[in-house]
Amino acid sequence: MVDVEVVNKRAKCIYCPKSKVGLGDYACDSGKNGTSGMISHIRKYCKYYPPNQDKTQKIITGNKGQSNKMVARGFVQSDIIHACVEMIVVDELPFSFVEKKGFMRFCSVACPMFEVPSRRKTVRQFLKMYDAQKQQLKKDLSALRINLTTDTWTSVQNTNYMVLTAHFIDCDWKMHKRVLNFCVIPNHQGNTIGDLIESCLLQWGIEKVLTITVDNASANKVAIDWVSGLRKLQKSVMAIRNAVRYVRSSPQRLDYFKISVEKEKLTCKNLVCMDVPTRWNSTYMMLDAALKFKKAFTRMVEDLNSPFMAYFKEPDEVVDEDGVVQTNSRQCRVGPPTDVDWDNASIFVRFLKTREVKGVLMALYDEYVPKVDGGIHMRLSSTTENVGSTSGSNNIVEESVAGDDFLDDWIREVSQSDEAVVSHEVDSYLGDPLALVSKDACFDILMWWKLNGPKYPVLAAIAKDVLSIQTSTVASESCFSTGGRVIDAFRSSLTPTSVEALICMQNWLRGDEISSLEDTPSIEEFEFYETIESEYANDEDA
């Protein structure tokens, strides 16, 4: 028998003092021992390892992917976890990625001090970050008028999803889009889509919506009617439509209508016309014509024995979303039109009425003037109040009282001057020379408004809202895989809440930073700055 000498290989930490026996001494046989003990020693216990001696020490490094500037970074565990979550969200990685051997090996080499979080801790951090960013976005959107796009998709598990995207231009004239919701929807029916959009807007506290862009599916027409409040006018439109249908359904009924027109001494030569329910322009023409014959229709209603009243006691026809008659209903026809119906129709006509390239602009201008011009008058009124409340010696008070008439005249003069300038802003804009554009250069309309906005403050506010209107739903489609209108396998394995959070947050992280929103000047702000100036002046005198 041959004696075999057993050799136990040991490794010694090069940073630990050699005088202290057993400190940083670990077994390192490649066939028996791993490296976890040595790694743990370096990360947690070795007080002599330089990075462990001062974790607050920062190093100068490049800020890759964002700018060419050099930044100072130090080791902060929470910051690295934050960046890790952002990587998972932006690159569409599974949360289990943090527990994979490759990533853990990479972290042990690149940043030995970093304690790689578990999947559970990563998900919790992700949800915390999502809630914080959602609250910030909600605050940013509260002062803006936004335009929306929406569309629906189906996952590989046949789950229906609806996406709602907000589009807006910030105070620095940069275009933004933010996915607000990506939620499960039971079906693709118009009323269901409309209810869900309304619920999402309430959740975000959004009230100022200019437009909603959808695809050409018939269900979306019903959805938009539902959200925009047109459903409240639907009964009135239907009542007038049935009245017009009665008149146009036979020569005898048309003659009866003409008799009522003659008795009311109406001079309008054109008669009423039917509309195509899916085309708003035809509905506008029908209502506009019917309103001119309101008195004739009212006379027909007052004749209780007329065939006109009997018509509305007949069963109604069920019409689908495309205007096609399907079956007869047991319910009677909607109508005849009441005074409320005629009033609603008048409002609807004004809403749909087409005006000339300057009429529309002037109407928008009148709508935006109080919003933009309010700051000027608020400052003016706060100045007046401060002057009126001035306290001090009797001489100062007497001078203030004696100057009230002069001050009132001055304020009135300034106010009238401001109104005169503002009232001519549209004419000035339309009368200014056109901008020259080179054939080889792309005209940046947002940059033009950024430079010229101060010259046209009201029109600039209009342009900021109108130029963010989307003409298609492509912006919403980009949330999904380019291979088709489906959600990928990884996202399909998550809960709907996590899917919504992932898709929304990915969009928010990839988007540019929203510029600080402009604050409307207030009396409180004026008084605050006035107080600071007064304190500073007193300090200087002292």
Per-residue pLDDT tens digits for 200-219? 999 999 988 888 887 655 55
Mean pLDDT, range 485-497, rounded to an integer: 63
Q: What is the pLDDT of residue 56?
A: 58
In this prediction, residue 81 has a pLDDT band, given cuts at 50, 70 and 90, of very high
Determine which of 133-142, 257-266, 351-360 has the lowest per-residue pLDDT on average: 351-360
Q: What is the pLDDT of residue 400?
A: 39
CA-based nearest residue to 79, from 87, 69, 90: 87
Mean pLDDT, range 502-523, rounded to an integer: 75
Mean pLDDT, range 360-379, rounded to an integer: 63
Residue 269: half-sphere exposure toward Cβ, Cα within 13 Å: 0
Average pLDDT of the residues of the chain: 75
Domain ranges for the chain, please list them: 10-45, 221-355
3-17 pLDDT tens trace: 444 456 777 777 776
In this prediction, residue 315 has a pLDDT band, given cuts at 50, 70 and 90, of confident
Q: Using a pLDDT cut of 90, give the percent of the chain over it.
A: 16
For CA atoms 105, 107, 110, 114, give the dihedral sign.
negative
109-118 pLDDT tens trace: 888 888 899 9
Helix (H, G, I), strand (E, B) or coil at 337: coil
Mean pLDDT, range 302-313, rounded to an integer: 84
Q: What is the pLDDT of residue 42?
A: 73
Mean pLDDT, range 506-527, rounded to an integer: 70
**Is the pLDDT score of 417 beyond 80?**
no
Q: What is the pLDDT of residue 16?
A: 75
CB 107 within 8 A of CB 70: no
Please, what is the Cα angle at 342 between 341 and 348, to 5 degrees? 90
The whole-angstrom separation of Cα 481 and Cα 497 is 19
**Is the pLDDT score of 136 beyond 80?**
yes
Determine which of 104-108, 233-237, 464-468 has the lowest per-residue pLDDT on average: 233-237
Q: Using a pLDDT cut of 70, give the percent of the chain over it.
A: 64
Q: Which residue type occupies 142?
A: S
**236 sits in which H/E element:** helix 231-248
Q: What is the pLDDT of residue 483?
A: 40
76-100: b (≥16 Cβ within 10 Å) or e: eeeebbeebbeebbeeeeebeebee
Q: What is the pLDDT of residue 241?
A: 92
**Is the pLDDT score of 129 beyond 90?**
yes
Would you call the peptide bond into 433 cis, given omega within 30 degrees of 0 as the criterion? no
**Is the pLDDT score of 22 beyond 80?**
no
143-197 pLDDT tens trace: 888 999 888 777 666 778 888 999 999 888 999 999 999 888 888 777 788 888 8
Instruction: Pick the more confident residue, 527 or 89.
Output: 89
Question: What is 357-386 written as a DSSP string?
Answer: TTHHHHHHHHHHHHHHHHHHHHHHHHHHHH
231-280 pLDDT tens trace: 667 888 899 999 999 999 898 999 899 988 988 888 877 788 888 876 77
CB 16 within 8 A of CB 23: yes
Instruction: Pick the more confident residue, 536 or 261.
Output: 261
Angstrom CA distances, 496 to 15, 75, 266, 542, stand at 50, 35, 61, 65
Mean pLDDT, range 359-378, rounded to an integer: 64
